[in-house]
Amino acid sequence: MLTIAIASLSGGQGKTTASLMLGRLLSRQGYPTLLVDADPQHNLTTYMDLELQANQPTLLEFLKKSVSAEDSIYPAEGNENLFLIPADDQLDTVQDYLSNSGVGATLLKRRLEPVADAFKVCIIDAPPQRSQICLTVLGAADTLIIPAEASVKGYGSLVRTLDLLRNLQDVGATEAQVMGVLPFRDRWIGNSQTQESRAAVTGMCEEVGEELILPSIRESERYKQAINRRSTLSDMGYTELEYPFEVLIDKISKLSKKQKAKS
């Protein structure tokens, strides 16, 4: 199972949008895909239209191992290849548990091991804060996708995320490498990119190298509409807007083959 963290250390950077869109497309292409909602704001769980009852297990119980791994995994309605480990408001309470466990950075990775053979790809929607949950998400990841708004705020979020990743790499807490940076809400007026977006994407290129900059997610209400309709952009007739995710799926396919060859 290839484990991908979708991480960026600011809110509104497109993490949940990228997680959901990528998960839907991968599953439709035949990849058994596990989504993990690791954000206490639990937007991914909400967008998946999963209404949890008070006694149903979530990522909190999954991390604490108070239920079996299988009991924390829910199938997506209408998609046989897509599954979710959900979150709710209580996920915030796991911070002390992770901090005191002694193995917080590697705990999620260990918890995912029993279900790894059931899925080809695992996508984790990380929280936007430098928290114990974020650390265990990066510790579980084989690779990292960093969505970053094409703005000053997005550039700053990218820099902070890269700094955290390098710190964790330096102490051996993760082996994850960056698969790509995904510019989000890239603003264009007609055929011209706005000055702020152009400057932000140029800065991102300088940080990671042009080869790691993915095609932009342009500012468009179509993404929100696809999420709300539990659909894909191509189903709605906007295939061209899926191009950034097609590039990602190609990269994921190549990484999966490399991973399989090593094992």
In whole numbers, what is the pLDDT of the chain averaged over residues?
91
pLDDT tens, position by position, 168-186: 999 999 999 999 999 998 9
pTM for the full predicted model: 0.94
Instruction: Identify the CATH number of the domain in which residue 208 sits.
Output: 3.40.50.300
Q: Domain containing 202: what range?
A: 2-262
Kindly tell me the sign of the dihedral angle through the C-alpha atoms of 77, 27, 186, 10.
positive
Domain count, the chain: 1
203: left (phi over 0), alpha (psi -120 to 50) or beta: alpha
* pLDDT tens-digit readout, 193-247: 899 999 999 999 999 999 999 999 887 788 888 888 777 888 888 788 889 999 9
